[in-house]
Amino acid sequence: MRAEYKKLPKSHGRLKYLKKLAILSHRWTGAAFCVLFAWWFISGLFIMYFDYPGVDAAARLARSDVLDRAHVTLTASEAWSRLHLQGEPDAVTLAMFDRRPAYLFRLGGARAVVFADNGQTRTQFPPDLNLRTAAAWTGQPAGIAKAETVTSPDQWTVGGIWNRAAPPTKYSWPDGSQVYVSPATGEVVQYTTRASPGLARGSAPFHTGSISLRCAGIPGCGAAWSSGFPESRQ
């Protein structure tokens, strides 16, 4: 007896091809994402154990000028009254600002300065003032610094810094020093040098790069993934 074979429709061949294509795509896409996640995980370990550059209270104190108490003529209450604002400030600090004693009032995310020698107020922080602040932080001449507005988070401003100070101005010196100053508050928010911990410096671009790849097209994703980056040290 002769065997009979039923001819399969052409659609069956197309489905078989699509199935093979789906299996192949799934296999290699999975392999690529495994590499990406491993890359992100390992670079994160380096950042955990090799300190990420940041500006904390100790760094600010170490770089602040000695307070000129002889020229402090106003109390904190008198200085606050010069701003003609209702209520009370969130925080107040007496320190040197632009080589003069001043009360620094914190108002939510903003900052106001009242100079303690004559009551002059400052609520705006122009580029020339911020350049002097950055130069004083590094101890280098302001004239050789290169200023650049950071329009998107880089490896040193992701997460908490960018959320609080965007968009900061970056001042760079030929020796590799980089100072980020917030135009909204006139304060230094980040500082790096060529002597910054090498492994953390090298791992940060890889770590933040993987965040960018994973968060493509997802609003706010980068800030959420990087929220531990250096805000916990501030």
Residue ranges of the domains in the chain?
Answer: 31-52+124-234, 56-123
The CATH architecture one would assign to domain 56-123 is Roll (3.10)
Least confident of 81-90, 96-105, 155-164, 196-205: 196-205
Q: What is the pTM of this model?
A: 0.67
pLDDT at residue 230, as a whole number: 37
pLDDT at residue 159, as a whole number: 67
Quick one: average pLDDT of 105-127?
Answer: 93
Least confident of 74-78, 147-151, 157-161: 157-161
Dump pLDDT digits (tens) for 9-57.
656 667 777 888 888 888 888 888 888 788 777 777 766 766 677 888 8
In order, the DSSP letters of the chain are -----PPPPHHHHHHHHHHHHHHHHHHHHHHHHHHHHHHHHHHHHHHHHSPPP---HHHHHHHSPPP-GGG--S-HHHHHHTTT-SS--SEEEEEEETTEEEEEEEETTEEEEEETTT--EE----HHHHHHHHHHHHTS-GGG-EEEE--S--TTTTTHHHHHHPSPEEEE-TTS-EEEE-TTT--EEEEE-TTS-HHHHHHHHHHHHHHHHHTTT-TTHHHHHTTTSSGGG-
Please determine, for residue 120, whether its predicted confidence score (pLDDT) is greater than 80.
yes
Please determine, for residue 7, whether its predicted confidence score (pLDDT) is greater than 70.
no
Summary mean pLDDT of the chain: 80
Dump pLDDT digits (tens) for 181-212.
999 999 999 998 876 655 555 555 555 554 44
